[in-house]
Amino acid sequence: MATPPLKGIVSYPVTPFSSATGEVDLPALHRLTDELVTAGSHAVAPLGSTGESAYLREGEWDAVCRTTLQAVAGRVPTLVGVSHWSTEETVRRARVAARGGATAIMVLPQMYWKLTTAELEQHFAAVAAAADLPVMLYNNPGTTGVDLRPETVVALARRIPGLTMVKESSGDVSRFRDILEMSDGELSVYNGNNPVALEAFRAGAVGWCTAAPCLVPRWCLELHAAALRGEEDRADAVLEELLPFLRFIVGHGLPRAVKAGLEIQGRGVGLPRAPLLPLPAEETEQLRELLERLASRPLPENTFAGTAGPAS
């Protein structure tokens, strides 16, 4: 059985932008990253879609990568999203992440042109070889239009050294068991679909990749802790409280929803970058109600140690 390089709650920070200039706000990013670690996140994953990586210029991407890794300072593992339209730029980003001390990197299939299996293999192999780090393959058919089914993922992993992890975001929980069985437990599987977090843990996922800890870290940590301890009733109760919030942030787009939530909590990080627009006023009030409800509800007993941090 493989030992995963990261597990538990893998937290995804948004990328702050200055309200005055629209440029990347590196001090705010450092602060948000530190809050995620202090709150008890088991790993931090910058530069995913939550971090608006597709809208960053090359120098901005490098600065966000560098600042996040410096803020984490080795306290927890780090997973850097290096995806780009081209293999050349994805390779460059992978090398930047490796030089900065990242624990692992995450790669999506390129979007727009639907790649053949041979083209996908060539892309992933080039990135894995460039960084010499553990690689997480990210399957998110809802956004990429490419569905990497379990048999494809396992076949790729057998041919590409370093490809040891899969982030599965299709929402099909049966895939967690399928990947584990087909790979004889050599692939570590992570959930990237917020509403099925508990089902995923019960199906063998070793981690939950989520932006939710930016706003409600203690609830996310408690869900994981209860699942880890086999406390099914407590886990069910935590999920029941958390699920409306999880569905909201996914349904309204993570960058705009999380940034609106941080503003509500007095921890503003600026607006999303165009073409994204801020969360509309009516939806912002709905989010405020969800956050206030979670803040007013007592956490279940025996809250997982190490979760002190921003109000949640």
pLDDT at 308: 38
Per the DSSP assignment, residues forming a β-bridge with 105 are: 80, 135
Higher pLDDT, 2 or 256: 256
Cα distances from 266 to residues 14, 74, 75, 137, 261, in angstroms, run 15, 28, 26, 35, 9
Is 12 among the residues known to form the active site? no
Tell me which of 12, 55, 112, 167 is the catalytic residue. Answer: 167
Across 191-209, average pLDDT: 97
Domains of the chain are: 8-296 (3.20.20.70)
Give yes or no for a contact between 268 and 256, defined as CB atoms under 8 angstroms apart: no
Confidence of residue 146 (pLDDT cuts 50, 70, 90): confident
Share of the chain above pLDDT 70, in %: 94
pLDDT at 143: 76
Is 167 among the residues known to form the active site? yes
Across 194-221, average pLDDT: 97
CA distance 92 to 248: 35
Tell me which of 7, 138, 190, 259 is the catalytic residue. Answer: 138
pLDDT at 293: 97
Residue 303 has pLDDT above 80, yes or no: no
Give yes or no for a contact between 230 and 32, defined as CB atoms under 8 angstroms apart: no
